[in-house]
Every structure is written in structure tokens, then in C-alpha cells.
Structure 1
Amino acid sequence: MVTLAEVARHAGVSSSTVSYVISGKRTISGATRQRVEQAISELGYHPNAGARALAGKRSHIIALVVPLRTDVYVPIMMEIAISVTMAARQYGYDVLLITNDEGPEGVRRVAASGLADGVILMDVELEDERIPVLRALNTHAALIGLPEDSTGLSCVDHDFFAAGASCADHLADLGHRDVAFIGYGSAVYQRHAGYAERTLAGFRDRAAARGLRILHRPCEGTYESTAGAFSRILADRPATTGFVVQNEGAIGPLMSLLRTAGRIVPEDASVVALCPEPLAEQYSPRLTAVTGPAQELGRRAVDLLMQRIDGKEPQEVTLLTPVLTVRESSGPAPLHV
């Protein structure tokens, strides 16, 4: 069994340095940290593995890293978190919540402490800085989200590429040719959030194949930012008759702005939202929307993590198929704009 001292010798540092890298209790230079993490990976060191073996039992706790951001839709995040908690209880596990504002250090602290038998990450970015920590510490993990490189990982997510494509198909089938995509704020794309970038990529790809002329306008989700995005769309492309919204906060303002501009939905403009069913149902007219089963994400993630904890180590990516439900907010493109 590899010891902490052997990791220290392999990395050319002191045992205390290795301990600080694992615990995150002190700041260690990037080069030293990388050396230690590489040694941990190469030697296959498992922090607290000996203590766990002597105890003869697991902690029966899993850590769930939940997003703490202003640019996420909190009700969906909470629905997933509740689903994870309920699924974990069926396995006899409790859930420890940690917030992603701690970044890689928070994951390192929990993984190295031995407090949790595994970790579930939410709000996964394409180049997520937390994933190298999980790999270096050989931590049991499941991801709700899909990074750019999913090699050796267990991931479950909505098929956001297909969701974006279905929005383009629906509006193209209705005869729309000028379509705008109102997305999340610029910061979401700058941090390469997988759900935002993959939806936009799927929309763009299918729009090109269907001959749509499109505009993408980021939006913070406030009334003011939505009004700004809407004004730019009409200024740049006055003939726009189709709107796709992937920002829950922007839906209400957009519907109001369309009415103010004298554009009746769906006679003059069609709106398709990527949002939960209850949200789509609360507007008038009710929204045509692309949705996915949030609770299923939580259940699947727990199942994948438990398989890893049991030594089965499933290396797979599961994408849940989105559903487009047609309601009153979308209709044939108007003959004249």
C-alpha cells in the first residue's frame, strides 16, 4: 500500500507539503502542486485508504457540488439536488452539499478528507478545473454535465446539442427564415458552460442545414438586458419572426417587449423556450418549449457513482433525449413582416 511518505519522496517534497496539497489548508505553488498530484496519480495513492480499511466500513456519505452563481436557474438546480438526495437515501447514503465557489480546492478538500465515499459534480464546464483533481486523487465521481474530454469519466446530461437543433427544426418547419437566439449572459459563454455552448452549437448547426438566417444575442436575463438584446435584433434583422430563448429570466421580458412592439405571438412572431414545463405553462400564450427530465439527471448520477464505489467503474456518457412540446407560442411564419 502506497504511503504519504512515498508520495513525498517521489515528488521530491516533504510529507507535510503532500498533506497540504491534499487538504488544501495552505497555498502551494502551482508547479509543486502539479508535481505532487502527478506523484499521487502515478503511485495510485488513496488518501485515508488505510484508515478506511481498518474501520472496515464506508462513510456512507456522498458529496454533491452545487452551483452558487447568479446566472443559473435555481429551481432546476434544487430539483436536481433533491433528486440526488432522494436517490442516495435509497442506497443508504446521506448527501454533503458543497458549493462550487470553492472550485478545485473544495473538491480536493472533500476528496482528501475521507469524509465522502464519492463526489457528484454539477454545472460542469467544457474545460472544468475540478476534473484533474478528481483524476489525480483517483476519487469516485459522477458528473451531471459533459466536459470536452470525458475519457474515463461517468457523465449524465441532457443532449443540449439535440435540444438546440430541435428548436431550429421546429421554426424552419413553420416557414421561419430569420431567427434570433437569446442566450445566457456573456460570462456563461466565457466560462464555457457545457449546457450553453452545446445548445448554441446544435442550433447553429441545424440552422445552417435548414437555410435559416440567425442572430445570437447574449442576455443577462433582466428586463433591461433583454430589451437591449431585443432592440439590437430588430435593428440588425428587422424581418426576424422566430425567437429561441435559453435564459429563463429573459422569457417574461421578451413576451412583454413583443407585445409593446405590436408583434402578436404567434401570428407575428413565434417563441420557443428551453425551460422547465411549469415555466412554459405559466405564460400566455403558453410556450412551445424544449425540456428535459431534471430529476432523472440526479437519479442517474447517483446510480453511476454507486457503481464506481462498488468497484464497477462504469466509463460511460449518458445523454437524455430532450422533448419539444408544441403549445400556443409558435405558429407559421407571417407572410409579411
Structure 2
Amino acid sequence: MVTLADVAQHAGVSASTVSYVLSGKRAISAVTRKRVERSILELGYHPNAGARALASSRSHIIALMMPLRMDMYVPVMMEIAVAIAAHARSYGFDVLMLTGEEGPASVRRVVGSGLADAMILMDVELDDARLPLLRESGRPAVLVGLPAETSGLTCVDLDFTATGALCAEHLAGLGHREIAVIGEAPAVYERRTGFAERTIGGLRTRARELGLRVLHRPCEGTYAAMAGALAHIFTERPGVTGFVVQNEQAVEPLLGLLRQERRAVPEDVSVVAVCPEQVAVQGSVRLTSVTIPAREMARHAVERVIAKLEGRPGGEVVLLEPRLTVRASSGPAPVAPVPAA
């Protein structure tokens, strides 16, 4: 294992000089700093986390609050979490994942313990109970998600309002006039989770402008739940020819049930999904979709939390522009048969 003394010997400086370069507590000439940094890189030296924390009054840990709930699609959340950890590591920070559904208690625990230098919060609700304590704490933090009130907060998210509108525009452009939305599990809407509420809000608003009829049905995502939802949809709105799915677990059950009912995709019914790209391209039908940009969201979140730690201004909202990729699941609305004379 490479030690601080090894770095000092390699760079031709004292051990205290290496320590000052790492901690930033004393001015070191640019030439000496570069020599020490080059030695650190060449030797592969990693400062001891405990010693580094004592030297800099920092833990070099970011707390990632990611409640794991049974009604959420865990793979996409884990993709964001892994990307956050990788980006944080490139800045010399480790990530501590807090996966419990503790609400404000998790913020209180991190702030009170001094365990982490900063926080990244996921699964953000419109009226998130964690935010008042977060604002009071003054601890550097970034939200992956968008609450109803963003003043004083730094937030990163896909623009889900624009995402819903984009899905409506795509189907309207293909001539569809009646659309059904297969949403997340009911509990997601009961919690007023931001991404779900904003998607359906954006879709409804744009649909009204385009003269579309919309039916929204939350769904647990199981085959049985999807079968029940689909039956109700075609009973209530037999003219539905377009589906928007914001529930990764419901995608394959929906496609299978449509096949059973002899409704061909996209000849009879078009399907547009809001989902990770792997879900869109690896299913039984390659789905027209708006991709969840997990890695891009993670990168922006880490960059902004590091900026806060370095004392740069925060309080900004970063909304990533949605991009819809057309694949095999969407096409022109079927032409209604001409009534017999």
C-alpha cells in the first residue's frame, strides 16, 4: 500500500508538504503542487478517509437518500444511484446510500451526525416532508426530482411536464384522438410523487390543446392488474387507439394482453413509453419512447453538489429536455370503417 511518505519521497518534498497539498490548509507553490499531484497519480495513492476527514474537517462522503419502495421501479433508481457513486468517486467522494423510508428523520440523522458533507435526495414528492428540515440545516444538497416549491433549492430532473406533452403531440400527429395513460401504482400518486404528477399534468394540458380525449389509469404493473385496467379502459373508451405507459413493469403485460385481444401494435393500437432505453429496446416490441436519462441526471446532480461544497452559488433548477425516439410501437391511427350505405 502506497503511503503519504512514499509520495513525499517520490516528489522530493516533505510529508507535511504532501499533507498541505491534500488538505489545502496552506499555500503551496504551483510547481510543487503539480509535482506532488503527479506523484500521487503515478503511485496510485489514496488518502486514508479518516485522516483526510481530520485534516480537512470533511468526511468526503455524500449521503444519497433513495427510499426503496415496492411500488417503484427499482432498476432505474439503482442506475441513477450507481452513476451518482461513479461520478462522486471521480471527485474523490464516496457515497453513503440511505434506503429507508424515514422521511425527515434521515435528514436529521445526517445533519446531526456530521457523517456526510452533502446530500442528494431522490424520490422527491411535490410536498416533500424532508425539505423544511433540509432548508433549515444549510447543508449542501441537491434534489434529483422537482418539488412544488423550489425556492432556495438545487434540483435536477427530466422535464416530465414536457415529456407528457411530447407523448401527446406524437400520438396526435399520427391521427390518434383517444388516448389512455397507464400510470404508476396508485400509491405513487397518493404520495404526490413529482415525476408522475408532472407527466400526467403536462400530457393532459397538451391533450386539451390538441383536442384529444385522455383516460388515466394508475396500475400496479402486474399481469392481473394490467388485465383489469385494460378491460376497464376499453369498456369506458372503446375508441382508444393510443397508449402512453409510465410504468416499466406494466409494459410487457400490456403488450401481451393486446396480442391476446388481437389488437396489433402499431396497426390497431400505438404504444409510447416513458422508460429506460433498455426497457424500450429489449421487449417483445421495440417501443417508441422518451428515455429516462439516468446517467445525465446523476452527472448534473454530482456536479452541482460539488459546486455547493466549493462555495459556488446554488439554488438552480436544471430540467433536461425530453427526447422521443420513434420505434416499432407507434404508427398512424387506424382508419374507421366507412358505414354501409
Smaller-chain TM-score bracket:
0.7 to 0.9
TM-score w.r.t. structure 2 length? Answer: 0.81
Q: What CA distance in whole angstroms lies between the structure 2 residues aligned with 1:312 and 1:53?
A: 21
If the length of structure 1 is used for normalisation, what is the TM-score? 0.82
Distance 2:258 2:185 in 1: 20
Q: Which structure 1 residue ranges, 4+ long, deviate > 3 Å from structure 2?
A: 52-56
**Residues 123 and 193 in structure 2, CA contact (< 8 A), matched pair in contact too:** yes
Residues 45-64 of structure 1: CA distance to partner in whole angstroms, max 9, x if unpaired?
xxxxxxx9985431111100
Quote the offset at 1:115 in angstroms: 1.1
Instruction: List aligned pairs for 1:12-31, cutoff 5 A.
Output: none
**Take 1:185 and 1:277, find their aligned partners in 2: how far apart are those partners?**
21
Shift of the alpha carbon at 1:315?
Answer: 1.2
Equivalenced residue count is 286
Tell me what 2:226 maps to.
Answer: 226
Distance 1:171 1:107 in 2: 42
Larger radius of gyration: 2
Q: How much identity, in percent, do the aligned residues show?
A: 59
The C-alpha deviation readout for 1:221-246, integer Å capped at 9, x for no partner, is: 01111111100100001111111110
> Deviation string for 1:2-57 (max 9, x for gaps)?
xxxxxxxxxxxxxxxxxxxxxxxxxxxxxxxxxxxxxxxxxxxxxxxxxx998543
Residue 45 of structure 1 is matched in structure 2 by none
Q: CA deviation at 1:71?
A: 1.6
> Mind listing any 5+ residue stretches in structure 2 that lack a counterpart?
1-51
The one-letter code matched in structure 1 to 2:263 is R
User: Which segments of 5 or more consecutive residues in structure 1 lack a partner in the other structure?
Assistant: 1-51
Name 1:313's counterpart in structure 2: 313
Q: CA deviation at 1:283?
A: 2.2
State the secondary structure of the residue aligned to 1:181: strand
In structure 1, what residue type is equivalent to 2:296?
E
Give the aligned partner of residue 47 of structure 2: none
Q: Who is 1:93 aligned against?
A: 93
Please give the per-residue CA displacement for 1:97-117, whole angstroms capped at 9, x wherever unaligned.
112412110111011111100
Between the aligned partners of 1:53 and 1:335, the Cα distance in structure 2 is 68
1:262 pairs with 2:277: no
Is the aligned partner of 1:163 residue 2:170? no
1:165-193 deviation per Cα after TM superposition (whole angstroms, max 9, x unaligned): 11100000000001101101111111000
**What letter is aligned with 1:88?**
A
Query: Equivalent residue of 2:128, what SS?
Result: coil
Q: Is the 8 A contact 2:252 2:284 kept in 1?
A: no
Contact 1:185-1:221 at 8 Å conserved across structures: yes
Say if 1:112 and 1:137, in contact at 8 Å, map to a contact too: no
Q: Partner residue of 2:335?
A: 335
Whether contact under 8 Å (1:111, 1:119) holds in the other structure is: no
Cα distance in 1 for residues equivalent to 2:99 and 2:132: 18
**Which residue of the partner structure matches residue 59 of structure 2?**
59
Partner of 1:192: 192
Q: 241-250 or 279-288, which moves further after superposition? A: 279-288
